Structure 1
Amino acid sequence: MALGNTHQSYGSLSKTLHWATALSILALIPLGIIANGLPFDTSEELARKAFLFSIHKTLGVTVFLLALIRIGWMITQPKPAPLHPERRLETFAAEMVHWALYGALVLVPLSGWIHHAATTGFAPIWWPFGQNLPLVPKSEEVAHLFAGLHIVFERVLVIALVLHIAGASKHRILDKDGTLARMLPRGGTVPPAPQRADSAAQHILPPLAAIAAFVLAIGVGNALGVFHGKDAAPVAQAELAEVTSDWQVESGTLAITVSQLGAPVTGQFEQWTAEIAYDPDTQTGATTVTVAIPSLTLGSVTGQALGAEFFDATTHPTAVFTAEITPAPNGAEAPLVATGTLSLKGTEMPLTLPFDLNLTDGLAEVSGSVTVQRLDFGIGPSYPDEASVGFVVEISVALTARQQDS
């Protein structure tokens, strides 16, 4: 069998790429459905769910690369002519479905890959390229958008795949012609296809119709709200009272980093307040930091982190750190420490936060970090080992505060 195509038949490379892609897709779709439906209430369940998703993602990247190779090869090869060119509507529909399949084979895995790169945590891709993509920022908005596009494009793929199989079956069972045989590994002898002279419109209309189908699918998906992040039920935000402080926070970040399946996952709380009293002359003071737990974003595991097993944001919507500020002991890594109590998820534990302070003309720049044990606060008790979720959680803070007039 020849490697390349002819006007009468497909070559061995086209057939290999076709069936390799087909088998991968037929494995990917049920694998994704099964993985998505699995629970993750325990460490073992989370590990199993993540393992299946890693297979799904890795196989998806493989399909993406296969699709690019297949499309590149298709462009360089002649395409066998349809056996029934007089059936213009049927021929148009078949070519439109082919274009929709080609587009979906690229867009489905690519949108999933971008969604993976835009977020952090959960089920790494087993490829040497790393978990990020050029020009793709870590962004919840980008992640939600491409998660929605992944769903929409997957529906287009399934519909196109069903139509493609139905068309091949019709040719095999009803027409009893050689259309399907031309793509089989050992297709046998196929009668020569009638020659036809296609107009420019006949060449351009099927891909345009396929593009229109994708646009329509995106419109329907938008109307159904698939781009708005429905991975978990929304958690009501905690209302934080405004604070009047000797030092008013102008900007800052409050972040946490956890280890999931051996990989670090970093997120941050968007809403928090800090009441600060500090005397630069004595280097002493006090602070009370109140955090709105439901404002946490933690990549792809945000919904899980806010659930009852972990932060339980509905029952415990705030955390409070109350501390005295003093100079650090000699030899400490940071010049100042905030020593006090962290109240989180109904549990109070002592906490000492070392931090650096850069003070210039009444403007203070503060940065520091500390680690805590999640199990001390009853966070993730169903995950008693570190194979899925690490015990240690790093809390880091960076803020800029301006001294207020007396």
Structure 2
Amino acid sequence: MRQNTHDRYGSVARSLHWLTALIILTNIGLGLLANRLSMEALETKILLFSLHKTLGVMAFAVALTRILWALTQTRPAPLHPERRAETFLAETVHWVLYAAMLMVPLTGWIEHAATEGFAPILWPFGQNLPLVPKSPDFAEAMAQVHHVFAWMLMGAVALHVAGALKHAVIDRDSVLARMLRGAPAGKPLQQRHLRPALAAVAVFAAGTAFAIAPRDHDPQPAAALEQAASGWQVQDGTLGFSVVQMGAAVEGGFSDWTAAIEFDPDSGTGHVDVTINMASVTIGTVTDQAKGAEFFDVAQHPTATYSADIRPEGDGFVAEGPLDLKGQQVPVTLSFTLDIAQGTARMSGQAQMDRRDWNIGQGYDNESSVGFPVQLQVDLTATR
């Protein structure tokens, strides 16, 4: 029998229940294992997170299907409605489970879409979501909500399993059999109360408030660099980079940098000195790892500098000079275009680099996890 009745679950509801349980329990294990795995096993960590995210999307789809199916069905009555406290707790846990089955994968999906790269979802439909901006701050907020909701889901699953075991071992009734093989149990109820649903809403409201509350231990931002004296003053600009990770381009950047620019428009020659606050780097969900000793080693090398001479070349210009990064000085050629009008210069440039030249990511000596080439992109507006 596919349909539910007042005293039993149909085959569709039971199948969706156990499929949801299998996916959720598997995904909880994948998530916990991936979180605990060290960055020394980055390839395995990325693979586990990719599987976790892919199963999360599947869990969302299955849970949504299950809920939509349940809305069209008769809901079997509680077996012991006279046990009011127990029934209230059981129904509250059910409401929390239903909400968590949707909200946990959804918040994780939104976090993934709001950040750059790291462990792509293993499907051909892209990594973004409509209306979700690329924002490290928003991604971090969603990560906190996802984390809290995940623990709420695990707590609800534990209570749900404990309740089922109580019915099977202590009460020895037909609650578990009703979901295992569709055994009839329970009598029709004349009325159901909304209090368990309202209690579940309160639980999620409290969880959300806890997740987004400010943390006293949140790290303070690094002190900003002082503006450099310059013939041309940078008014705004971006300093970004991209690298291929697990076959997908990942974009990052530095929010704090200065440039002292001397440039003669008549001859097209000049000089630039750039200082970068390495603690200002962001690169999606792997920002903390990027700051670590294996990559930029921000603690030991808090700044990077680039000192280059500017000259015309072809239809544009180049800046050539050493980039001092992580204790290594390596020549870098930056090709750029320049448009100057009424004392305002707009520049856009690119440079191709190899991370190995600066001993970045030495432990990742093949491109299966992190590519060797790094594309640097600079855009700025300056006035004099």
Q: TM-score, normalised by structure 2?
A: 0.96
What is the alpha-carbon root mean square deviation over aligned residues? 1.8
Question: Structure 2: how far apart are the matches of 1:302 and 1:265?
Answer: 12
Q: C-alpha displacement at 1:180, in angstroms?
A: 1.5
| Structure 1 SS opposite 2:285 | coil
CA contact (8 A) 2:7 2:187 kept: no
The residue number in structure 2 matching 1:216 is 206
Q: Percent identity?
A: 52
Q: C-alpha displacement at 1:351, in angstroms?
A: 1.7
Q: Deviations over 1:173-202 (max 9, x none)?
A: 222221221111x344x35x233322xxx4
- Mapping of residues 226-241 of structure 1, within 5 Å: 237=222, 239-241=224-226
Equivalent position amino acid for 1:32 in 2:
G
Equivalent position amino acid for 1:4 in 2:
Q
The residue number in structure 1 matching 2:188 is 195
Residue 394 (structure 1) aligned to one of 372, 375, 379: 375
The residue number in structure 2 matching 1:270 is 255
CA contact (8 A) 1:238 1:293 kept: no
Q: C-alpha displacement at 1:386, in angstroms?
A: 1.2
Question: Structure 2: how far apart are the matches of 1:238 and 1:393?
Answer: 27
Give ranges in structure 1 of 5+ residues lacking alignment. Answer: none
Question: Structure 1: how far apart are the matches of 2:220 and 2:323?
Answer: 22
The residue number in structure 1 matching 2:10 is 11
The residue number in structure 1 matching 2:337 is 356
Q: C-alpha displacement at 1:302, in angstroms?
A: 0.9
Q: Deviations over 1:67-98 (max 9, x none)?
A: 10000000000011112222222212111111
The residue number in structure 1 matching 2:312 is 327
The residue number in structure 2 matching 1:317 is 302
Question: Structure 1: how far apart are the matches of 2:210 and 2:318?
Answer: 55
Divergent runs of 4+, >6 A = none
| Structure 2 SS opposite 1:242 | coil
Q: C-alpha displacement at 1:131, in angstroms?
A: 0.7
The residue number in structure 2 matching 1:74 is 70
The residue number in structure 1 matching 2:239 is 254
Give ranges in structure 2 of 5+ residues lacking alignment. Answer: none
Q: Deviations over 1:345-391 (max 9, x none)?
A: 11111222111011110000000101111111111111111111111
The residue number in structure 1 matching 2:196 is 206
Question: Structure 1: how far apart are the matches of 2:220 and 2:290?
Answer: 11
Change (3 A) 1:241 1:73: same
Count of residues paired in the alignment: 384
CA contact (8 A) 2:346 2:382 kept: yes
Q: C-alpha displacement at 1:58, in angstroms?
A: 0.8
Equivalent position amino acid for 2:250 in 1:
V
- Mapping of residues 29-40 of structure 1, within 5 Å: 29-40=28-39
Question: Structure 1: how far apart are the matches of 2:261 and 2:214?
Answer: 46
| Structure 2 SS opposite 1:355 | strand
Q: TM-score, normalised by structure 1?
A: 0.91
1:159 is aligned to 2:150: no
Question: Structure 1: how far apart are the matches of 2:189 and 2:32?
Answer: 43
Q: Deviations over 1:304-341 (max 9, x none)?
A: 1111111111111111111111111xxx4x51111222
CA contact (8 A) 2:10 2:182 kept: no
The residue number in structure 2 matching 1:90 is 86
The residue number in structure 1 matching 2:43 is 47
